[in-house]
Amino acid sequence: METTFSDNEQASLQITGMTCAACANRIEKGLNKLEGVSQATVNLALETAQVHFRSDSVSVPDLIKKVEQLGYHAKPKEERKISDLRDERKQEVRKQQRKLLVSAILSLPLLWAMVGHFSFTSWIWVPELFMNPWFQLVLATPVQFVIGKSFYVGAYKALRNGSANMDVLVALGTSAAYFYSLYLTFESITSHHEVEMYYETSSVLITLILMGKLFELMAKGRSSEAIKTLMGLQAKTALVVREGIESRIPIEEVLVGDLVLVKPGEKIPVDGEVVDGVTSVDESMITGESLPVDKRMGDTVIGATVNANGSLRIRAAKVGRDTVLSQIIKVVEEAQGSKAPIQRVADVISGIFVPIVVGIAIVTFLVWLFAVDSGNFSGALEKAIAVLVIACPCALGLATPTSIMAGSGRAAELGILFKGGEHLEATHRIDAVVLDKTGTVTNGKPVLTDIEGANGKDLDSILLSWIAAAERPSEHPLADAVVAGIEARGVEAVESESFQAIPGHGVTAFVAGRELLIGTRKLMGEHGVDISAAEQRMSDMEQEGKTAMLVAVDGVYAATVGVADTIKETSKQAVDRLRDLGIQVLMITGDNERTARAIAEQAGIREVLAEVLPEGKANEVKKLQVAGKKVAMIGDGINDAPALATADIGMAIGTGTDVAMEAADVTLMRGDLNSIPDAIAMSRRTMQNIKQNLFWALAYNVVGIPIAASGFLAPWLAGAAMALSSVSVVLNALRLQRVKL
Ligand SMILES: Nc1ncnc2c1ncn2[C@@H]1O[C@H](COP(=O)(O)OP(=O)(O)OP(=O)(O)O)[C@@H](O)[C@H]1O
Ligand SMILES: [Cu+]
Ligand SMILES: [Mg+2]
């Protein structure tokens, strides 16, 4: 039995029967119109629909019914495995290949017979039988109605929904040729003289279009390579210990809380926490970071990464669709099937295209029949058919989605996850990049370097233990550094009695009955602490790029603590690359001006926004936007969420933590800032690719129609040209997969 919730539910449907973006649009609109559906998105490439709905007013069967009403098929989506995906594609390709082969064999004699029509090929011998109208009828009929059935079905569905698509044009064009030939065939019984048939027009057309579709299908298969690679990373089984018994079970059966053994050289099956063992782990497939990462008790490990040398026991923390890898796959899947705003151009054009084309075809027919070549019915028909076929906007429909798919797939391989086509598009307009300091420009692993008492001497261990106690409850990375540094000096922390974090300033705490204050100059100033004795030492540290924090006990300055965070080796190179792209680069931080400047200088950043409170970061982004900039904000995604959301593009640096992926438009799996110019370059390339596609698709139609209308294009040539244009669009898009940055 299914439980019902009054709040939102989510369902994934597997949809079949979609042929183009217009189909996806139609289903999306239909589902969104249903009472109780809050959001439905249809992914054409993956043939899925994601629906958010309220289960008290609508159910999954209702959703399916709606899809069926619109003329497509739907079923609840099952969790797919990599092998299924591959098999589905292969089957589909094989089916198309078989269809094409049969169609080609049947059409060949018709094509052969056609050579007699042209003076320059009339010397070629043609078997008598091939010229026989009845024989031609026998060959052409199955092509038209069995192999070509999908065009009729597609056309019928489109027309029933009040729209027109490429199927309408193909069905119309081929039917005209077929039925006219049929008429001539019967007429030949009575008239007894040789007439030209047009069976080859319909059959060869269908064959060529099938060929185009097959190429398209094979090319599309290649563009989802990125997802297949990701899915293939998953381990298949896990060795779990339940009630003391070890057993190897399929990965799908691992539960949260299970104890999992990972042997040396094995893939870590699920996300978890190390409970026993020491090893190093290759996380490059997830983070792009090539150096192995050391893991010991308490560390988190990510599923699909590879355990190098030690044995591990881990406690499963996330399984199934919650794992980092599954989330990455989901993001990539969604992005690949999502729409970029530029697609609207194509949608609008193809929406009005088909009716206009039918109009032009009719005019062509009438003009030829009554004006140009008076009374030549078949000649006029041939021209009209050529117009119908050449004007088919299928290349136009493919232009954007194929590029988005290939572009976002390639980006994912480079460790750049775009959440959707709109972000992939928006990124190419970025002209200002705001980098958070800690964890973005720097490694974000601050280390305690200096502790100095008020009189310049070392501190006694009592004061050290108080400082550690005050900082321990804080979640700030600086606090972690201080605590770790003090513990490393062999001092044990005591418990604090009360604690309060003051964001952007520091902490206050009561320890052993005393009030401790740790943080910035401003914090000290606000509490009336005299820090003149610390000034010199402090600014020295800051000059070196260290963060200096002041400690006061009961309102009296007691110590200066220095923490150093190193900049990432690649930060400078990345900043230079951004500047070469003509992008303004800024660094933003809550840290003080001097430290910030020192760090910025190492990274080659000239503009620094320092001492910005956490809530002020979004404001700084807005200021840049008001000044007319398209801003990308790059942060670690957790405390920078408002700024990430405000920016035109928010990029989170992270190994795919939920929060980071949630807040940002783009997730950079590598810590390396070179991902930023990479992302921008990828976006620029993709947009350029889309524009090329749109241009060629349109140009081909616009140039083709007058040629066809004036009679210079035989229908089968128009068909070949159409197939070729679709294939060339897809091939152009696939170039994105090989982009090297
Ligand atoms: N737990 C803490 N202990 C001591 N000082 C702190 C603490 N939290 C913040 N501070 C002080 O407040 C300053 C600003 O903190 P904030 O968190 O806004 O920025 P940040 O982490 O230094 O830099 P970024 O903005 O690049 O992440 C710190 O540089 C530090 O001097
Ligand atoms: Cu077409
Ligand atoms: Mg910070």
CA–CA dist 77, 47 (Å, integer): 10
Q: For 481-505, what is the mean pLDDT? A: 89
CA of 723 from ligand 2 middle (Å) equals 7
Element (H, E) at 82: helix 82-114
Ligand nearest to the CA of 436: 1
Q: What are phi and psi of 568, to 5 degrees?
A: -65, 140
CA–CA dist 377, 369 (Å, integer): 6
pLDDT value for 304: 86
User: For 562-602, what is each residue's pLDDT tens digit?
Assistant: 999 989 999 999 999 999 999 999 999 989 999 999 999 99
pTM (2 decimals)?
0.76
575 and 662: one domain? yes
432 and 496: one domain? no
pLDDT at 321 over 80: no
User: For 671-689, what is each residue's pLDDT tens digit?
Assistant: 889 999 999 999 999 999 9
Percentage of the chain beyond pLDDT 70 is 91
520 and 600: one domain? no
User: Which residue out of 436, 591, 636, 672 is catalytically annotated?
Assistant: 436
Instruction: Provide the β-strand partners of residue 561.
Output: 451, 549
pLDDT higher at 615 or 663? 615
Ligand 1 neighbourhood includes 325 CB (under 6 angstroms): no
Instruction: Provide the β-strand partners of residue 318.
Output: 271
Q: For 356-379, what is the mean pLDDT? A: 86
- 477 exposure class (CB count in 10 Å sphere: 0-12, 13-18, 19+): middle
584 and 676: one domain? yes
Q: For position 481, which CATH number holds?
A: 3.40.1110.10
pLDDT higher at 100 or 460? 100
Ligand 1 neighbourhood includes 637 CB (under 6 angstroms): no
**Which of 425-429, 510-514, 637-641 comes out lowest in average pLDDT?**
637-641
Ligand 1 neighbourhood includes 505 CB (under 6 angstroms): yes
Ligand nearest to the CA of 205: 2
pLDDT higher at 333 or 536? 536
CA–CA dist 650, 383 (Å, integer): 53
Choose from 64-73, 290-299, 449-458, 500-509 the range with maximum mean pLDDT. Answer: 500-509
Cβ–Cβ under 8 Å, residues 432 and 631: yes
Q: Which of 442, 502, 505 to mutate to test the pocket of ligand 1 (most atoms within 8 A of CB)?
A: 505
Ligand nearest to the CA of 552: 1
pLDDT value for 348: 76
Which of these three, 652, 680, 708, is where a domain ends? 680
Domain range spanning residue 271? 255-318
425 and 480: one domain? no
Instruction: Examine residue 525 and state whether it is found in any structural domain, yes or no.
Output: yes
pLDDT higher at 366 or 21? 366
CA of 25 from ligand 3 middle (Å) equals 42
Ligand 1 neighbourhood includes 481 CB (under 6 angstroms): no
Closest C-alpha among 693, 732, 704, 718 to residue 346: 693
Ligand 1 neighbourhood includes 594 CB (under 6 angstroms): no
pLDDT value for 609: 95
Instruction: Examine residue 206 and state whether it is found in any structural domain, yes or no.
Output: no
433 and 473: one domain? no
pLDDT higher at 660 or 547? 547
pLDDT at 6 over 50: no
Ligand 1 neighbourhood includes 452 CB (under 6 angstroms): no
pLDDT value for 738: 84
660 and 589: one domain? yes
pLDDT at 453 over 80: yes
594 and 533: one domain? no
623 and 676: one domain? yes
* Number of H-type helices and E-type strands within the chain: 26, 26
CA of 627 from ligand 1 middle (Å) equals 28
Q: For position 21, which CATH number holds?
A: 3.30.70.100
Ligand nearest to the CA of 639: 3
CA–CA dist 694, 637 (Å, integer): 36
Choose from 169-173, 237-241, 384-388, 654-658 the range with maximum mean pLDDT. Answer: 237-241
Instruction: Examine residue 656 and state whether it is found in any structural domain, yes or no.
Output: yes
Ligand 1 neighbourhood includes 614 CB (under 6 angstroms): yes
Instruction: Examine residue 30 and state whether it is found in any structural domain, yes or no.
Output: yes
Instruction: Examine residue 85 and state whether it is found in any structural domain, yes or no.
Output: no
pLDDT higher at 494 or 618? 618
Ligand 1 neighbourhood includes 508 CB (under 6 angstroms): no
Ligand 1 neighbourhood includes 479 CB (under 6 angstroms): yes
Instruction: Examine residue 222 and state whether it is found in any structural domain, yes or no.
Output: no
291 and 430: one domain? no
CA of 436 from ligand 3 middle (Å) equals 8
pLDDT higher at 43 or 440? 440
pLDDT band at 658 (very low <50, low <70, confident <90, very high): low
Q: Under 8 Å CB-to-CB from 485, ≥6 apart: which residues?
A: 447, 448, 449, 451, 563
CA of 144 from ligand 2 middle (Å) equals 16
CA of 293 from ligand 3 middle (Å) equals 23
pLDDT band at 4 (very low <50, low <70, confident <90, very high): very low
Ligand 1 neighbourhood includes 519 CB (under 6 angstroms): yes
**Which of 76-85, 111-120, 193-202, 480-489 comes out lowest in average pLDDT?**
76-85
Closest C-alpha among 718, 699, 720 to residue 710: 718
400: left (phi over 0), alpha (psi -120 to 50) or beta: alpha
pLDDT value for 224: 64
Ligand 1 neighbourhood includes 547 CB (under 6 angstroms): yes
Q: Is 436 a catalytic residue?
A: yes
- 431 exposure class (CB count in 10 Å sphere: 0-12, 13-18, 19+): middle
CA–CA dist 444, 455 (Å, integer): 31
pLDDT band at 631 (very low <50, low <70, confident <90, very high): very high
Instruction: Examine residue 714 and state whether it is found in any structural domain, yes or no.
Output: no
The mean pLDDT value of the chain amounts to 84
Ligand nearest to the CA of 617: 1
CA–CA dist 127, 478 (Å, integer): 88
Ligand 1 neighbourhood includes 560 CB (under 6 angstroms): no
- 287 exposure class (CB count in 10 Å sphere: 0-12, 13-18, 19+): buried
What's the complex ipTM? 0.94
Q: Which of 438, 448, 471, 478 to mutate to test the pocket of ligand 1 (most atoms within 8 A of CB)?
A: 478
Q: Of all protein residues, whose CA lies closest to atom 19 belonging to ligand 1?
A: 590
Q: For 407-433, what is the mean pLDDT? A: 90
pLDDT at 119 over 70: no
Instruction: Provide the β-strand partners of residue 274.
Output: 314
Cβ–Cβ under 8 Å, residues 652 and 302: no
Instruction: Examine residue 201 and state whether it is found in any structural domain, yes or no.
Output: no
Cβ–Cβ under 8 Å, residues 550 and 560: yes
Q: For 250-258, what is the mean pLDDT? A: 88
Which of these three, 288, 318, 348, is where a domain ends? 318
Q: Atom of ligand 1 at shortest distance to CA of 591?
A: 29
pLDDT value for 696: 86
Q: Of all protein residues, whose CA lies closest to atom 22 belonging to ligand 1?
A: 591
CA of 504 from ligand 1 middle (Å) equals 5
The size of the chain, in residues, is 741
pLDDT higher at 356 or 217? 356
Q: Which spans in 368-471 are helix H?
A: 377-390, 394-413, 421-426, 461-471
**Which of 147-151, 166-170, 305-309 comes out lowest in average pLDDT?**
166-170
CA–CA dist 697, 703 (Å, integer): 10
- 3-state DSSP call for residue 655? coil
Q: For 618-630, what is the mean pLDDT? A: 95
pLDDT at 300 over 50: yes
Count structural domains, the chain.
Answer: 4
Q: Concatenated DSSP letters for 546-596?
A: PEEEEEEETTEEEEEEEEE-PBPTTHHHHHHHHHHTT-EEEEE-SS-HHHH
Q: For 284-308, what is the mean pLDDT? A: 81
CA–CA dist 635, 638 (Å, integer): 8
559 and 457: one domain? yes
Q: Which of 443, 531, 591 to mutate to test the pocket of ligand 1 (most atoms within 8 A of CB)?
A: 591
pLDDT value for 621: 94
Q: For 209-222, what is the mean pLDDT? A: 75
CA of 392 from ligand 2 middle (Å) equals 4
507 and 429: one domain? no
